[in-house]
Every structure is written in C-alpha cells, then in structure tokens.
A and B are shown apart, each in its own frame.
Chain A
C-alpha cells in the first residue's frame, strides 16, 4: 500500500506571497492532519480534516488554512508569507476516529526569503 505523499517536496517563496501544499493520504484513510516542524518549536499541530470538515485547529494565525476533498486529499494554504513560516510542513493520515495511528508523509520544505 502506498504511503502518504506530499507535493511539492521543496518550495522557495518570497515574503508576502502565498503558497499551497498538497497531501494525499494512505488509501482508505479519511483523516488528514497537518503539522509544522521548526528547529525552535519542534512539531506543532496545525489542523485536522475528516470527511471534508475541519475537526480541530491548533494555535496558528488565520493565514494558515486548509481544506479536504471528497477523495480525502488535503491542501493547506499559507497567505502573506513571513520569514518565520520557513519550516518543514508535514501531513499525517489515519483511518478515522480518535484512536488511530497516524502515518506521516515526507514533508514539504518551505523556505521564505
């Protein structure tokens, strides 16, 4: 079974621009969560989508948003990029419910200049 895939793997953007990242979960998984990883803050939860609905949201500004499609694929968008948004963005998929294991993709490394 194929794992979680994320595209693109690397991105370089300029301050003020916006960016869209994509995540395809493991086949059959309906929950997709997004995390930001930085050397200073570690891995932090952004939000989770299940059946096209955002179920939970972390403590990030409104510039960070996401959505999920009917095939469970998910996108996250960051508008008005800031230098501090440079990070590894990871998505994780799980079957459903509150107890499932989460499997991570390889991440998208975003650099904001």
Chain B
C-alpha cells in the first residue's frame, strides 16, 4: 500500500465548475501538506502549503487538511481552462525535507 493515495483521474469538468481533488495517507507523522500543479513538460509549481489540520484559502484555491481522517483536499472555484494540469498532493514529516507524493490527478477544464 502506498503511503499517499491519490485518484489519478483523468477528471474532466466544464469551465466555471468547482473542482475537488483529494488524497488520503497512512503515515500519521505527516505534518506538512502541499498541493503542486504541473503542466505538461514543466516542473511542479507550489500552489498551497499548510501545516497540520485546518483550511487555507488563496484566491480561487482552498486547501483542507483533516488529520483525524488522514485526508486532504484541494478545491478550485470558478475553474478556468488554464487550470488544466496535473495536480499533485505531497506531504512530509517535521524536520525532514523528503516529500512523499501522490500519483497526481490529471484535470481538464473544458471551455
């Protein structure tokens, strides 16, 4: 069983829809949770970075962490075609730089 599970999709939604992306994990020592966006043939771009449980909002993006359920989510409001990319969740323990990634979800926003 992988430490971090993420549905690879693909996920296709119409422009303007609310998108929900999710990851589950098994290691209760994870304290830092991230979402990266990766366009084709590019490096991952950091979207959201959260510590421990709770919500964080940045523009159209909201990240949620529920440590009791070992479940994290990323919501994208008013989705745009430019949001079409692969979204990767990542997490790490305190004191270490090693990121453990999910498989990534390929998202397409249709105009």
Contacts and interface: CB of A to CB of B under 8 A. Distances in A.
Interface size class of A (residues with CB under 8 A): 20 to 34
Contacts of A50: 97
Contacts of A98: 92-97
Interface string B55-81: 000000000000000000000000000
Contact of B97 (A43, A44, A94, A109): A94
A56 interface: yes
A99 B32 contact: yes
A48 B34 CA distance: 18
Q: Is the interface of A mostly helix, strand, loop or mixed?
A: strand
Contacts of A106: 42-43
A43 B91 CA distance: 12
Interface residues on B, range: 20 to 34
A31 B99 CA distance: 13
Contacts of B97: 31, 33, 48, 50, 55-56, 94, 98, 100, 102
Interface string A16-35: 00000000000000010101
Most central of B43, B93, B94, B97 by chain A CB within 10 Å:
B97
B46 interface: yes
Interface in A45-67: 45, 48, 50, 55-56, 58
A100 B51 CA distance: 10
